[in-house]
Amino acid sequence: MRFFQVLKRRKILFLNIFLFLYIAINLFSGDRGLISYFEKKEVEDQLSQKRTFLNDQISIFEHKNSLLSEKLNFDFVDTLVREKFKFGKKDEILIKLNE
């Protein structure tokens, strides 16, 4: 009985404590909490690095493709044939290096 009397007198205090705890718990946990924010930020950084790497790879492939398309670059074709087919001229000595 005494508990209910205390509750009636101090209900605003209890309400404020409850609201404060509710806001504090949701601030740190939950889908939109502080911990979730840092996890999502880390994932965003990783994806940004991956995007930069893939954009660099695309630009390299576009450059190589441009060397093989419109105006054929014979030096590049010669390099490709030597690398892929281990092909050389009659007078040349080919040395295979393990990389």
Tens of pLDDT, residues 12-33: 888 888 999 998 888 888 788 8
At residue 61, does pLDDT exceed 80? yes
User: Which of 2-6, 11-15, 51-55 shows the lowest per-residue confidence on average (mean pLDDT)?
Assistant: 2-6
> Which amino acid makes up residue 95?
I
pLDDT at 75: 80
pLDDT at 99: 62
Out of 17-21, 46-50, 68-72, 95-99, give the one with best mean pLDDT. 46-50
Q: Give the residue carrying structure tokens 């030096």.
A: 75
pLDDT at 66: 80
Residue 32 to residue 65: CA distance in whole angstroms: 45
